[in-house]
Amino acid sequence: MTIQWFPGHMAKAKREVTEKLKFVDIVFELVDARLPLSSRNPLLDQILQQKPRLVILNKADLADPEQTQKWQNYFENQGFAALALNALENQGTKKIVAKAKTVLAAKFAKDKARGIKPRAIRAMVIGIPNVGKSTLMNRLVGKKIAQTGNKPGVTKGQQWLRSGSELELLDTPGILWPKFEDAEIGKKLALTGAIKDQLLHLDDIALYGLDFFTRYYPGRIAKRYHLTLADEELPLPELLMLITEKRGFRDDYDRGSELVVVEIRQSKLGPFTLDRYEEAGAFYESRSN
């Protein structure tokens, strides 16, 4: 299955981000804590270059905490400041300004030496769709200004928002890259809701999700759907049909697929991390050393 999604407003946003970089001190790059690598846009490294950056692992409440800590360490070892938080419940957001001040300490000291008066930090908030950018900004500002929605593609334009006296935020639309060279990345993004469901075959995504949980979190499927551990060893299509029947959908395979995908997204099967540090992060870290 090949997934491609690059609406026109995203191409425009890429150009605007490039143009607006000179107006900000730091970039807040949001990633989904459930897939910290796969939810990073590789185009951003080209666009942002040496601009100071804070990587924010949002939705940490939905992710495997052990994996989240490993990924936070990974980003810091790559030279980025990093924070894990849950913007929806406003957990950890108060640490952002302090972390940004640490990143920009050298710049502030240089400005002070030149006689430049202190001012609010100007930050650009950026990330792929549905990582919680608008939710985070609303928490920082303290009221609902940025439009939010539990679906990709809600934010369409750019706007400045003020967060107290210490922070000014520049919102940007979510930017996906034109083509996913790795089909598995597309499936991961689809399973967590970063791509519109209308563009997907939900049965493929459901099967991918079931396969992931049987391999990395054995027993959770059985517990959620009142199955046996032996049932988890069934061929995936049979397992999905069994879940469909158990939920009273008879042979409505499509409805069963939707149920599995939605419940995984809602963490009904428990917190999880699709990007396994041991498989991806350790590999990339070893290559950079």
Residue 242 lies in a domain: yes
Residues (pLDDT < 50) of the chain are: 147-157
Query: Hey, how many other C-beta atoms are within 10 angstroms of the C-beta on 142?
Result: 11
135 annotated ligand-binding residue: yes
Structure confidence at residue 277 (pLDDT)? 95
pTM confidence score: 0.86
**pLDDT at residue 154 in the model:** 39
Residue 13 lies in a domain: yes
- Tell me the CB-side half-sphere exposure of residue 75, using CA atoms within 13 A: 22
Q: Are strands 167-171 and 81-84 parallel, antiparallel or unpaired?
A: unpaired
Does 100 reside within a domain? yes
Question: In the prediction, which pLDDT does 155 show?
Answer: 41
Inside any domain, residue 278? no
**Confidence at residue 286, expressed as pLDDT on a 0 to 100 scale:** 59
Cα–Cα distance between 9 and 229 in angstroms, integer?
46
DSSP of 76-131, one letter per residue? Answer: HHTT-EEEE-BTTTTBSTTHHHHHHHHHTHHHHHHHHHTTPPP-PEEEEEE-STTS
User: Structurally, how many domains does the chain consist of?
Assistant: 2
Do 172 and 206 belong together in one domain?
Answer: no
Residue 223 lies in a domain: yes
Any binding-site annotation on 267?
no
Residues 88 and 175 in one domain: yes
H-helix or E-strand spanning residue 255: helix 253-265
Residues 99 and 242 in one domain: no
Do 41 and 114 lie in one domain? The reply is yes
Q: Which residues pair with 58 in a beta bridge?
A: 32
Residue 9: predicted pLDDT = 55
Distances (CA, A) of 203 to 199, 238, 240: 12, 12, 9
Type and span of the H or E element at 57: strand 53-58
**Is residue 174 a known part of a binding site?**
yes
Provide the sign of the torsion angle of the four alpha carbons 155, 157, 163, 167, taken in this order: positive
- 104: Cβ–Cβ under 8 A, 6 or more apart, which residues? 25, 26, 52, 121
Say if residue 172 is in the same domain as residue 36: yes
Domain of residue 166 covers: 8-179
Q: Give the pLDDT of residue 216.
A: 97
Please list the alpha-helical segments (H only) found in 121-170.
133-141
Identify the CATH number of the domain in which residue 99 sits.
Answer: 3.40.50.300
Whether 282 has a binding-site annotation, put simply, is: no
pLDDT tens digits, residue range 105-160?
A: 999 899 999 999 888 999 988 888 788 888 888 888 886 665 444 444 434 445 67
| CA 104/CA 102 separation, integer angstroms | 5
pLDDT at 215: 97
Residues 158 and 44 in one domain: yes
246 in a labelled binding site: no
Same domain? For 37 and 127 the reply is yes
Take residue 202 and report the two structure tokens written for it.
Answer: 């939900």
Distance, in Å, from the CA atom of 122 to the CA atom of 125, rounded to the nearest integer, reads 10
Tell me what percent of the chain is helix, strand and coil, each rounded to the nearest 5. Answer: 45, 10, 40
Instruction: Flag whether 24 is marked binding.
Output: no
Examine the domain organization and report whether 108 and 217 are in the same domain: no
Q: Are residues 19 and 152 in the same domain?
A: yes
> Is 127 annotated to bind ligand?
no
How much is the pLDDT for 141?
84
What does DSSP assign to residue 16?
H
Same structural domain, 147 and 214? no
The answer to whether 134 is annotated as binding is yes
* 131 marked as binding residue: yes
Look at the alpha carbons of 180, 209, 273, 93 in this order and tell me if their dihedral is positive or negative. positive
**Residue 18 marked in a binding site:** no
Mapped onto helix, strand or coil, the DSSP state of residue 56 is: strand
In a domain, 112, yes or no: yes
The predicted pLDDT at position 140 comes to 87
pLDDT attached to residue 18: 81
Examine the domain organization and report whether 208 and 257 are in the same domain.
yes
Is 48 a domain residue? yes
Q: Report pLDDT for 148.
A: 45
The answer as to whether 185 is a domain residue is no
Judge if 261 and 144 occupy the same domain.
no
141 annotated ligand binder: no
State the residue for tokens 């075959």.
201
